[in-house]
Structure 1
Amino acid sequence: MTFHGDYDPMDVAGPTLTPTTFGCSLFAARGNPADPLFGRNFDFDHQPALLLFTDAPDSHASVSMVDVSYLGVDSASDFETESGKRLLLDAPSCPSTA
């Protein structure tokens, strides 16, 4: 999905997330301070995922993987429904909060 429009990258309220009893592996690399790199895996049960591209005005462009189950999207068919598509509008707030 490519998200067009503005969003607040510091909006940590975003969607309401459900705490879990497991964690994911992550890493950060700062070899070049101008281009930091952050990575995280989703090493748990299969959930629908979204490759999200954002390029909001006055912000950095980014590419991230989003576990859309945090947004209430439960199956691939939800990507085709109007209500499922509306849920995806919160996807830009999910990578930083999930």
Structure 2
Amino acid sequence: MSKMARRYFVIGRVRGVGFRYWTAGRAKHYGLVGWVRNRRDGRVEVLAYGEAEALGNLERELQDGPPAALVQGVEPAPVTPEEAGLAARATRFEQAATL
């Protein structure tokens, strides 16, 4: 099986509801590495690396988020080759600083 990197922007009421903590837990559950961070524009950004099936499972769960969230959408976005390389070398899934 081949591994790949995927980026998602999650929009809605996703700040102040434990979304990053929840996402990190779900990503770890699926054996993914990468990071999740808040964006100053109110979105949450996820960059995850792993098996395609695990990435699909995470994307489906992002549609709902944790109980206090109100997700309005999950937008896939491109990953640069440099970011994919960094993600491939990651050893864990972490909560990153706001960008």
What TM-score results when the alignment is normalised by the length of structure 1?
A: 0.26
Radius of gyration: which is bigger?
1
- Higher strand content, 1 or 2: 2
* Structure that is richer in helix per residue: 2
TM-score, normalised by the number of residues in structure 2: 0.25
